[in-house]
Each structure stands twice: as C-alpha cells, then as structure tokens.
A and B are shown apart, each in its own frame.
Chain A
Amino acid sequence: MESLKEKMMHTALLLLTQKKVDVVLGFQRGTIPMMSQPILISHPEKVDQLHWDSFCSINLANYLPQRKDKIAIFAKGCDSRNIVLQIQENQIKREQLHIIGVPCQGMLDRRKVQAELNDRLLLGVRETSEHFHLLGEGFMDSLERSGYLQDNCAICSHRNAVIYDEALAEPVLEQEGVERYEDVKAIEAMTAHQRWSYFEKLLAPCIRCYACRNACPMCYCPVCFVDESTPQWLGKSIDPTDTMTFHFLRAYHLAGRCTDCGNCEQVCPMSIKMRQLTKKLEKDIIELYDYEAGLSLNQRPPLDTYRPDDPQDFIR
C-alpha cells in the first residue's frame, strides 16, 4: 500500500509541475482510523498530502460532474466505470480528464472491522498484502483481508480501471467465478407478499438523510425528484410509503447505470443494505441486454438506445 501512495505523490507531482492538469483528485488520510477524505490538490508542494489505503472507498467520480478544469483523477475499477458513464452522459469531457488507474484489491468495510473490535479502542490499522493489523492499546489483531471486504468488493469482477491514461501499477488479477446475485435470487424466489414485507423491513431504519443518493456518482440531477416542490412528488416525513418510494425510484433511476461501487451502503448511517435493489436491476439489464454499465465508451447504455430487435414486444 505504501508504494502505491508514493507512486501517487510522484505522479501527481509530475502532472502538476508539468502543468498537464490543473488539479489532482485523490484522498488524504482521515482524522480517525479507517477513514479518508477526498481532496483536491492544485499546488505541487501539497502532493505529500495524498494518501492511499483500503479505506479510500469513496467513489471519486462523484466529484467530477460539471467541473470546468483539467483534472487528474485516481480511479479504482468502479470509479473508472463511473467516469465512463459520466462521459457518456455528458457530465464531463474525456479530454478534461487524466485518469490514473489504481489496481484495487477490494476496500475494507470499516463496520465489519468495528464489529471485530468489541468496543476496544482502535488507534490505527497497518496493512500488508493479504492481511491487516488492528493496533490499539494493549492489543494487535492480525486479520485476513478477505473476510472484511466491503460486500460489493467481495463480488467485484472489475478491480482494474477500464479506462485510463496511465496505470499506477500492474493490474491485479480479476476475481473469477464470483456469484454476484445470491441475495437477489433469494428475493426473487419470494412470493410478492413475502417480498413486500422483506423490503418494508429492509428500509424501515431509513432516516431520509439521502447520503446514499448524494454519495452516488450517478445521482447528479440538478433537482432530484425528492426535492421537487412544484409539484411535490414525495412527502418529507418518514412515512414508510414515502421512504420506500424514494428507495425504489432511486434504484430504478440507476437501472443500467449502477456500477455497484457500494458507496450507497458505505455511507448509510443506518447500515441499510440497499444494493439489493440496484443489483436486481443490474441482473435484469445483463439478462435483457447483455450489458454491464460503464465498461466501454463505445457501448451506449441500453436505456438510451433503440434496437429493432428489442426483446420487449411493446416497443417494437
């Protein structure tokens, strides 16, 4: 990990001193363990603020829409796919970007690690390739990375950037034979009634803080339907009908656009597993259109194209 961080600083320094970009978008170390903060660096002397570890899960593509400058961005596999989509959806221009691919071994889930701590005080985390070590007062636990990955990272099949101007390191091996839809299939197998109660329970803790929406790089509408007031589509209380409407519509709006970067779940203060909704739509889009979001600039998203051989009758 240390070496990736040093490479980042080096790359950023070159890009800024050679004036190839105006700003570099990366991470700085967080003020508490297992956290990091997105940072924008415009001066070469500030590149040593850059940081990289397995808690840099925030999708940096979220900071791109409508920027006017020339930006270097560090991109994990998922970030890069969101960049592809944002270019296709005219949120940013390809020529504005200098994409630095960062091979990713999966991000660690701070809540899973937190549960391991049993309220012991964590002072820091040290990482090696297969393990990470929790350091606290009077203890050091060594844990295997594979058991503490974010749920989406554990089933990720695109760990390397799909589009980049330079790669920070050799690509990592992609995971093969991953079962992505175990949870979705379980829900599909339910009766409509069971499914409804399942969703009611899943979304009941929601406090409507909209962190899931705001952390999503694909949620960039100037005015979200949730915030429309003339007319108002959605109630502002925590009535379950309104809350569920928000989550279902948010998911549908991401059909064929979600890259399963997992930001929505990572930022949720109530630990709601809302990826089950977006994954169902991802599965449908693969089955109906053989399309995975954001893999190539040359492939238009299925929901903004028309094909005479569309599988649905009604549109032909």
Chain B
Amino acid sequence: MVDRVIKKTELADFVARLVEKYRVYAPVREQQTTNFREISTADQVDLSGANTTLSPKSLILPQSETMFEFSLDRTSEKAGILYEIELDPLPRLIFGIRPCDAKAFELLDLNFSTPSHQDPWWARRRQITTLVGLGCNTPCPTCFCTSVGCGPFATEGLDVLLIDLDKEFAIQGITEKGQRLLDDMDIKAEASATKKEAVSAQQSSSLQSIKSVVPTEGLQDHEVNALFNAEFWDKVQFACINCGVCTFVCPTCWCFDIQDEVLKNNGLRLRNWDSCMFPLFTLHGSGHNPRGQKLQRVRQRFMHKLKYFPDKYHNGVACVGCGRCVQQCPVNIDIRQVFLLMNNFKI
C-alpha cells in the first residue's frame, strides 16, 4: 500500500543516496531518443517522457554479453577450458521503469529462470537488480497495457512504485526488497502519507485515458496449425522490410545467438540479441532455413508472442502493450491489428 511520500524537491537527494549504494539506471534524453543509461545525479534523469525509445531489457539481457573466455594456445593453462566472465557484483537499480517493462521481466523469467532451468546470466542480474517503477500519468495513444494483463499502475515485477502527484511522489513499497530499500533510504512509512484520494484519482484518470484495446480471449481456442496457415499472414507481411526494429525495441523479445570471436589466441564467447526478422535466424548448418521467407519470419514473431507463448506457459500473451513497435515500425505494421486478426480468426 501507498504509505510513504517524497517531495520532488527531495528527489535529487534521494537519487544521490541511491547512487552511493547502487549502479542506478534511469531514462536519459539523448537528442531525439530517450533511453535507460547509468546516471550519477538526478539532473540527468528525464521522467517527463512516456516510454523510452528502447525498452530497459538490455539491462538484464545485454544486446551483447561476453559469457566466457578461452585460449587457443595449447601451452596456456587456459587452453581447452571455457572460463566464465565474472559478473559485476554491484547491486543495480532501475529508476523510473514503467509497469509494462517490469511486467516484461516477469514474462521473460518464465523462459530464463524456472525452478528446473536457470539461465545464470539472466538470473543473477535479476537477483541483483531492484526495480523502482513510475506509474503512468499520461499513457501514450499506442498503449494497450490494460488489454494484456498489465496497467498504468500495475505492480507486477516492481519492488517500489512511485506515483507522480505533481509536487510529490506517493510511494508504494511492493516487495520486501523494496520495503528494505525505502527503509535504508530513510523514507519512513507514515499513516498520513496514504494520499488515498489523490492516488486513486490519478489511477482512474490514467485508466480512462487508455483508449487502445486489443482482444485476446479467442487466441487460446484456435488450433495452432490453422492459425499458422491462415491467409491473413500474406497481407500482414507485405509491407514488412524485415528490419529488426520491432524485436530490438520490444521488452519481451528475448531471442539470442551465441558466437565465438577470436583474436590471435584469445577467444570470447558472446551472446548477442538475435531477431526473427533476420535471414540468419534459424538458418541451419545444412543451409536450409525453415523461415527463409519474409512471411515465415513475420508470422513467427506474432505466433510466438500471441500463440506459442500463451499455449506453453498459460500466463497470457508475450506482449505487455507498451506500443513501442506500433510507434517505431517504419512501415506501420501494427500488432494491435494482428491481435484482432488472430483473435477473430475463423477457418
């Protein structure tokens, strides 16, 4: 519950205290884009914009990450052995993350971090990272979070939620980790800080401003092959130029490719973002690619998000409604329309 408050004039001090204990990442405006960058003072932070250009997923799943190093020098003691690169152990904090982006991390946990399978790089970063979210007072016209199990003040995945009340932030500690952080930062819980009316007024005005709605209720009923073979894919795919914009700006696209890079005798094993839009994606050693055509790649992206993922994990679609792909696709391929086509599909 909301039981703490911080004046906006105290924000600089709050951030300064955070920076002492954490690597702090926050939205930073860079000419025409805004992205999460490591910050050292509050004046670098820009909380005025809506969603950042790129999602913060690279803070947990970097676009390129060195996993191991090895040596090709047979006389070296490192020869033939993969040595794990040590992770920077300093605790991290993502400040001003939106509820949709936090929910995306939860969805990706279903893939990267389950009781039986742990991706160590993902899991460790998740573990050392605290998420201090910011509720959305002015959702974008392309936001459809409320249709996909999220919302402008949803708390799933967050440790702390800040609610902007003009001159101050109302604060909700969500997890134990979040409560501890607030205690550490000396932001005390007070009975007078509930701000009940102001908070619920803001929440309902935000909810009302979300006009964009997508249907999802029919997705699970479709037979997967029928949907796969649907005629509408031909129309959906025509304009696509197979660039990686949608997949790279997306908070829930997680596909990666592992490559070795060797300079003289020193090798690195890297994990890089991949994209189902790219011709190398699922290219087999034989030269065959089951997704060699544009239609197959476009279909893969939407089927993965809206059919395979929900069928496999029973946890809703792999989309949090942030609208980044809608805003940034150069040829206006709008996932909201694909939701409609897939959901309302009839053989």
A238 to chain B: which residues have CB within 8 Å? 63-64, 272
Q: Which of A91-99, A178-186, A265-273, A282-290 contacts B (4 or more CB under 8 A)?
A: A265-273
B279 within 8 A of A: yes
Which single residue of chain B is at the shortest CB-CB distance from A222?
Answer: B279
Say whether A269 contacts B245, CB under 8 Å.
yes
Interchain CB contact (< 8 A) of A214 among B241, B247, B328, B336: B241
Say whether A36 contacts B332, CB under 8 Å.
yes
Say whether A223 contacts B49, CB under 8 Å.
no
Say whether A32 contacts B244, CB under 8 Å.
no
Task: From B245, B331, B337, name the one whose CB has the most chain A CB atoms within 10 angstroms.
Answer: B331
Interchain CB contact (< 8 A) of A227 among B63, B279, B330: B279
Interchain CB contact (< 8 A) of B245 among A30, A40, A63, A267: A267
B247 to chain A: which residues have CB within 8 Å? 209
Say whether A37 contacts B239, CB under 8 Å.
yes
Shortest A29–chain B CB gap in Å is: 9
Shortest A148–chain B CB gap in Å is: 14
Q: Give chain A interface residues in 191-232, CB to chain B under 8 Å.
A: 205, 207-211, 213-215, 223-224, 227, 229
B331 to chain A: which residues have CB within 8 Å? 37-38, 58
Shortest B55–chain A CB gap in Å is: 12
A62 to B239, CA, bound (A): 10
Say whether B249 contacts A269, CB under 8 Å.
yes
Say whether B243 contacts A207, CB under 8 Å.
no
A97 to B129, CA, bound (A): 57
Q: Which of B4-12, B27-35, B70-78, B217-225 contacts A (4 or more CB under 8 A)?
A: B27-35
Which single residue of chain A is at the shortest CB-CB distance from B32?
Answer: A271
A31 to chain B: which residues have CB within 8 Å? 326, 332, 334, 336-337
B50 within 8 A of A: yes
Say whether A205 contacts B243, CB under 8 Å.
no
Report A34-72 CB contacts with B as 1/0, cut-off 8 Å.
011111100000000000000000100011000000000
Say whether B279 contacts A32, CB under 8 Å.
no
Q: Give chain B interface residues in 284-338, CB to chain A under 8 Å.
A: 326-328, 330-334, 336-337
Q: Give chain A interface residues in 249-294, CB to chain B under 8 Å.
A: 266-267, 269-271
A121 within 8 A of B: yes
B270 within 8 A of A: yes
A19 to B151, CA, bound (A): 51
A312 within 8 A of B: no
B91 within 8 A of A: no
Report the interface size for chain B: residues with CB under 8 A from the other chain: 44
Interchain CB contact (< 8 A) of A210 among B243, B249, B328: B243
A309 within 8 A of B: no
B239 to chain A: which residues have CB within 8 Å? 37-39
Shortest B36–chain A CB gap in Å is: 13
A38 to B330, CA, bound (A): 10
A121 to B327, CA, bound (A): 13
A65 to B141, CA, bound (A): 36
A170 to B275, CA, bound (A): 44
Question: Known interface pairs A111-B32, A236-B270. Does A40 touch B238 (Cβ–Cβ under 8 Å)?
Answer: yes
Q: Give chain A interface residues in 109-163, CB to chain B under 8 Å.
A: 111, 115, 119, 121
A239 to chain B: which residues have CB within 8 Å? 64
A211 to B245, CA, bound (A): 7
A235 within 8 A of B: yes
Question: Known interface pairs A209-B245, A236-B257, A267-B245. Does A115 touch B332 (Cβ–Cβ under 8 Å)?
Answer: no
Say whether B330 contacts A266, CB under 8 Å.
yes
B153 to chain A: which residues have CB within 8 Å? none
A223 to chain B: which residues have CB within 8 Å? 279
A3 within 8 A of B: no
Interchain CB contact (< 8 A) of A215 among B32, B53, B241: B241
Which single residue of chain A is at the shortest CB-CB distance from B248?
Answer: A209
Say whether A267 contacts B330, CB under 8 Å.
yes
A298 within 8 A of B: no
Interface residues of B (CB under 8 A from A): 30-33, 48-50, 53-54, 63-64, 138, 141-142, 238-239, 241-245, 247-249, 257, 259, 261, 270, 272, 275, 278-280, 283, 326-328, 330-334, 336-337
Given contacts A205-B33, A237-B272, A267-B330, 18 further A-B contacts (CB under 8 A): A31-B326, A32-B141, A32-B334, A35-B332, A38-B238, A58-B330, A58-B331, A111-B32, A119-B48, A207-B244, A208-B244, A209-B244, A211-B243, A227-B280, A229-B283, A266-B330, A269-B33, A269-B53
3 closest residue pairs by CB, A with B? A267-B330, A211-B243, A237-B64
